[in-house]
Structure 1
């Protein structure tokens, strides 16, 4: 039905709440407007909502930390805070839209474009990718923490993961049809 990112001073409950609104048929902008009416802390929040259909929506409260920016295109949203410049978010969105390949590869390209445009105001130590498709869980959930080169490390993990992703989904849904992995007890 869509995707939600809550950041800055985040409230993890927003994700489920907004996804429920999208499931009920609210467009992203309306769902986000309902959240602003429902929650009195939105001045501290930065939220991006992308529905499966329709225009995305973003919100950056007046107390969002540091240099911050949020932007949407027809089918994507990008937001950031504690940035080197507002151009970082523009680069992320443009990097995503111009990249090819799997969705995860496009996300990684977007992160790389943002880093090349200046990235965070401080040092970058962590990076992650989480992608939900049709299986009902995060089919890709990769993270690198406290690395000197988190995007490069994340890219290396993604190169190993993508060729196996569908096999793991198959294993979860129908183990009898999943390929063997050659580990003890796996026949």
Structure 2
């Protein structure tokens, strides 16, 4: 009931991921990223503990592949889980348990990995990966291109209702953490709108955290 892509930007220190599902608030449970470490999606009968655990392993020096192997060996009920991971070095990794729901599939590239379950057809992750690899620009833009391609190629077998985009850069908090937790309409289109609004402002929000005196005007009553 989910399709996602996790990625790193080869030009910057950024990691990020996009995800969509028929379930509510999918990104709240499934999206994980840590600056300077990597990004992880934990989905399909989700265990949200797997994301932070994989990031902890990578922070201690494990590659994405090694982290996923460790989770596969020691995680609870891993035959029900789907985990996607990308770290600073080495290829991305994915685990899809034998009890992944419905039609599931995965696609791996140099800097990104895509996967899903309850898909309309097995080519959805590859369509997402191809779109990501064929895009340029900011990682957030490329992630939205990938998520939109997943939807347009067929996405989940049924309608999706939630979506999310998570980005980390060089600070310990997310550069962007945007979510559409429920809509009867198109959550991916709504997420794209939210990203278009947030993207021009996100640098200013970082600056305001680091040095409010040097940040752009807030443009609100009481702003000196």
Category of TM-score, reference length = shorter chain: over 0.9
- For residues 86 and 213 of structure 2, the distance between their equivalents in structure 1, rounded to whole angstroms, comes to 35
Residue 147 of structure 1 deviates from its aligned partner by 4.1
The answer as to 2:17 corresponding to 1:17 is no
In structure 1, the residue matched to 2:62 is 26
Alignment of 1:56-135 (within 5 A): 56-135=92-171
Aligned length: 187
Tell me the distance in 1 between the aligned counterparts of 2:165 and 2:105.
20
Alignment of 1:46 with 2:87, yes or no, is: no
Please state if 1:152 is matched with 2:189: yes
Tell me the distance in 1 between the aligned counterparts of 2:78 and 2:104. Answer: 15
More helix by share: 1
Q: Which has the higher contact order (CA 8 A, sep 6+)?
A: 2
For 1:125-180, what per-residue CA distance to the aligned partner results, in whole angstroms no more than 9, with x for missing partners? Answer: 22211111111111111122214122222222111111111000111122121111
**CA spacing shift, 1:40–1:152, aligned 2, 3 Å:** closer
Moved more, 58-67 or 15-24: 15-24
Please tell me whether residue 178 in structure 1 is matched to residue 215 in structure 2.
Answer: yes
The alignment's TM-score, normalised by the length of structure 1, stands at: 0.95
SS at match of 1:176: helix
Gaps of 5+ in 1: none
| 1:140 lines up with 2:176 in the alignment | yes
Matches of 1:2 and 1:48, distance apart in 2:
11
The equivalent of 1:164 in structure 2 is 201
Quick one: distance in 2 between partners of 1:43 and 1:114? 24
State whether residues 126 and 147 of structure 1, in contact with CA within 8 Å, keep that contact through their aligned partners in structure 2.
no
Structure 1 stretches of at least 4 aligned residues deviating more than 4 Å after TM superposition: none
**Aligned residues of 1:125 and 1:149 also touching (Cα < 8 A):** yes
Instruction: From the CA coordinates, give the structure whose radius of gyration is larger.
Output: 1
Provide the rounded CA distance (Å) in 2 between the counterparts of 1:100 and 1:66.
33
Q: What CA distance in whole angstroms lies between the structure 1 residues aligned with 2:158 and 2:60? A: 40
TM-superposed CA distance for 1:12, in Å, is 1.1
User: What is the DSSP-based 3-state SS (H/G/I as helix, E as strand, rest coil) of the residue aligned with 1:138?
Assistant: coil
